[in-house]
Amino acid sequence: MAAAGRANARKLAEMAVEETGYGNAKDKYVKNLLAADWLARRMRGIKTVGLLRELPDEKMVEIGVPMGVVAAILPTTNPTSTAIYKILVSLKAGNAIVISPHPRAHRCTCYTAALLSQAAVEAGAPADLIQCVDNATIDATNALMRHERTGVILSTGGSGIVKAAYSSGKPAFGVGPGNVPVLLDPSADLEDAVAKVVTGKSFDFGTVCSSEQTLVAEEGLRSRVMAALKANHAYIATDAQREALGKLLMMPNWTVNPQCVGQSPQKIAKMAGFEVPPDTSIICAEIQGVGKQHPLSAEKLSPVLSLYFVNGFDAAMDACFALLKFGGMGHTAVIYAKDDVRVRAFAMRMPAMRILVNTPAPQGSTGITTNVFPSMTLGCGAAAGNITSDNVGPQHLINIKRLAYVVRKPEEAFEMPLDYNAAPSTPGAVGPIDRQTVVAAVERYLAARGMAVGQSAPSAQAGGPEGVPPRPTVKAAAVSSIAAEVVEKLLARRGGPESGGGFS
């Protein structure tokens, strides 16, 4: 299947652009190869079905079990690469797959599915293991997700379809939107960083959900940042042009204008009422804050990058945090820096599940330039209402059965007595502390080690038969002192005599 995807990667990219009007074929070709080449190679050797591993020390055996039928909901922005990806990970996990394409990408998606299905059957797979819904509608998609034979849902698309997947009553993997901030630290190689930001933002005209949305930098870097952007053919919008872009890109209901998704910077500028040079890579517009008063601080799904200049590293961190909270919780954040202390601080602070360092965001988040798992479905974790924070792969589409052998008796698993009648009435208490009992216990301990308890210290001449070392004795007062110390230490360990704790 992967070989069929690679052989047709360029054709499928061109079909996707022709049918949807989103993005460009050159970058969609790369995304097709991400799934058909890099993902396929990364999955080799991963055990997914049958015996996964044996743990002899734990007397456990793990067995992989497919989930069944994967209901795969596909987007219009990445229709062929996502189809290749979902088919490969589903069958790698031993599942069948039924694809529900986006209505505006039906032809290229189902053609991709047919190519891979033919390759699978020729390799010995059962017929109809891969299917594509001919006339996808909202009702048909909902019926697929709720069907009794659907085992799991793998949903990619807008927030509406993701919510529908989670509301279907079936196990579901959906993802949240991205509003990726990029922090440009003074320690970074600034010119290299800006070039990479432009590369990421221009990739497939911004259709990847993890593409850069706002570049945050300290005010002292302004002139260098602007010069580097211009050197990479970025167009810097005027204040009036920024206002026009905000009105164009964001709809009244605060969703992205679908007419602008994945369009060239030249076309977007024209739609907004101004012109940009033919070689323009992206459009940049400076913003003064984050929120609905600043429309361009949201996700834009186009080659439009916001610029936000602040005073100091802490302010930059605050800005990136606010951007994620505004529409990208759990998704992706990027930092360009050589100072690893700041990199770690950024990673700890940001509510994002992928923190990328010194790499374009689309390429880093999908595993092209980093070692995160190659994926077209990027989980955003509980903060975004997602079941996983991982890059979803075949390992998420199996259940693991565990064969577990007995290793201990029940009473060996607990510190507390299992006898109900012997259990203490106060939770956590084994019994009252008796100081005399402890003294007697210490005396027995000393006696067992050859130390007798007496009233006086041993003399140098005291002893047994000739050649036998004298048997040492310990003053009773010393025993009491030792016992008292033991008692106090145990009391402290158990939280003190007032805590209700005790010891056996």
Question: Mind telling me the catalytic residues?
Answer: 209
Structural contact between residues 311 and 186, judged by C-beta atoms closer than 8 angstroms: no
Cα→Cα distances 297→205, 216, 285, 287, 494, Å? 18, 11, 10, 7, 54
| DSSP classification of residue 291 | B
Which one-letter amino acid corresponds to residue 472?
P
Token pair 């299947």 in the structure block, residue: 1
How far is the C-alpha of 173 from the C-alpha of 396, rounded, in Å? 9
| Tokens describing residue 196 | 């990479």
| DSSP classification of residue 39 | I
Cα→Cα distances 456→215, 364, 473, 475, Å? 82, 78, 8, 6
Q: What dihedral do alpha carbons 103, 108, 109, 113 form, nearest 10°?
A: 150
Q: CB 118: neighbour CB atoms within 10 A?
A: 14
Report DSSP letters for 380-447, one per residue.
--GGGT-S--SBP-GGGSEEEEEEE---S-GGGS-SS---GGGS-SSTT------HHHHHHHHHHHHH
Q: Is the dihedral of CA 477, 478, 481, 487 positive or negative?
A: negative
Total number of residues shown for the chain: 504
How far is the C-alpha of 369 from the C-alpha of 357, rounded, in Å? 10
| DSSP classification of residue 158 | -
| Tokens describing residue 82 | 């996502």
Which one-letter amino acid corresponds to residue 323?
L
How many helices (H) does the chain have, and how many strands (E)? 17, 17
Report DSSP letters for 91-152, one per residue.
HHTT-EEEEE--GGGHHHHHHHHHHHHHHHHHTTPPTTSEEE-SS--HHHHHHHHH-TTEEE
How far is the C-alpha of 206 from the C-alpha of 41, rounded, in Å? 26
Structural contact between residues 262 and 18, judged by C-beta atoms closer than 8 angstroms: no
How far is the C-alpha of 373 from the C-alpha of 337, rounded, in Å? 23
| DSSP classification of residue 294 | B
